[in-house]
Amino acid sequence: MSGIVQLLQLRKQLNAAIDTLVASPEGESLPALDDSLSNAPPALMTAPGAATASAVAQKIMALLAGPHRGFALSLSGHVPACLVAAINAHAAEAIREGEVEPGAGLPVSEIAKASTIDSGKLARVLRLLAANYIFVEKKPGVFANNRCSIGLDTGKTVNELQRRPVDVYKGTNGHVALMAHCAEDGLKATAFLTDALFDKETAHSYKPEHAPVSHAYDRPIFDFFAAPGNEAYLKRFGMAMYAINSIMQGEATLATGYPFQDLAPGAKIVDVGGGVGSVSLTLRRLAPHLSFVVQDRSEVIEQQAPQVWQERAPDALENGSVVLQAHDFFSPQPVKDAALFLLRLVIHDWADEEALAILRPLAEAATSETRLLLVEQAYEPLQPDPLVHNSMPYLVDLEMMAVLNAQERTREQYVELAKRAGWTHVKTWVPMLGDAPSGWRHYEFKKA
């Protein structure tokens, strides 16, 4: 097949996907790119045709660029670095506060006053982002927000951000925290990926201490977060994990996957490695008749989780329907009467041996009626042409490798892993978003 024939086929696919999106209710709500006031609803990301249109556009770019695509990608690491710089400079908030009217823009000399950054360097940072459709350069040195850059806006005032730098993400939805975590911690880890892949000591190791990020932070990332003086990193990570639930439409997919509502009144769900408890917050709204135990490291449970629950569901802690419990999930499980052990995006943080060390204590604490539910992202090998690809699962997989020496897994890999830990596969639930399967999978197991 010639390149022109392939290009024409891709045009046909792209037009069909756009037509599908335009005809959908979600498509009607699509704001313009230069609209800095309207954030597209999460449903738009999974609207019919949206993912296909984006993927086809990427394939067209690859077809037209050819060998030069690798060169362009080799320089693209500067983009996440500039994202973190813009976030730390409070650029989106400064523009929102300072411009005369939405879309008018603000001189970079004024934007730079929100932090200690040099205005000339900030201009170059924002210019690269604007070249990637994040911010708009209205005229030389004057930048405005657009629909992409408002994703960098915490919603706070510049004064608030300057007064409490360690709490810049406190009280937010965590979306900016997640972006900053991936763009900073992930980028630092990725910078050492090749070193770790070819170093004799680490090349064939799956130990967390041999993850590429250890080259950047001189220790595994969770040890770095827990170290004195790194409270801002720890708080950012906690809010980043909270954000995943909304960004990936966790509430909708929890409602349509495993039938939590069918569990008996008072049934106890143990949210293992649950962070601040974002999943339990969602499940409590969906199934208020259940009780929850949120388990995580002491620094998360004692320093972050209480504040989240006091803000979002203060009655839960008061009436005892939710218990926050500091627990190392490599140690024996203290809860012996769980109806369900729930691990959402936990096992993908660990290589096989560590994952087995997490799952085995749960099997030992389980009764014959207890169920194990692993909530993870769907991950499958790439399919050949003429299909177009969504690179996100593979980006997340490499993030796991670089930051944690871990991995995403296929259904078959999860089933085999759980079997080795004393669990038998019962069913794989596929949550839906509207009429389409979501990117989540709920893997249900019982004690072997």
Identify the active-site residue in 90, 175, 210, 348: 348
Pairing status of strand 268-272 against strand 340-344: parallel
Q: Let me know the angle formed at the C-alpha of 423 by 422 and 426, rounded to the nearest 5 degrees.
A: 165
Burial 319-352 (b: 16+ CB within 10 A, else e): eebbbbbebebeeebebeebbbbbbbbbbbbbbb
The phi-psi region of residue 434 (left if phi > 0; otherwise alpha if psi is between -120 and 50; otherwise beta) is left
Residue 93 CA to residue 351 CA, distance in Å, equals 39
Residue 435 CA to residue 391 CA, distance in Å, equals 22
CB 343 within 8 A of CB 416: no
Task: Tell me, yes or no, if 68 is annotated catalytic.
Answer: no
Contact residues for 233 (Cβ-Cβ < 8 A; gap 6+): 185, 224, 225
DSSP 182: I
Preceding peptide of 259 cis, ω within 30°: no
C-alpha Rg value of the chain to the nearest Å = 23
Show which residues are catalytic: 348
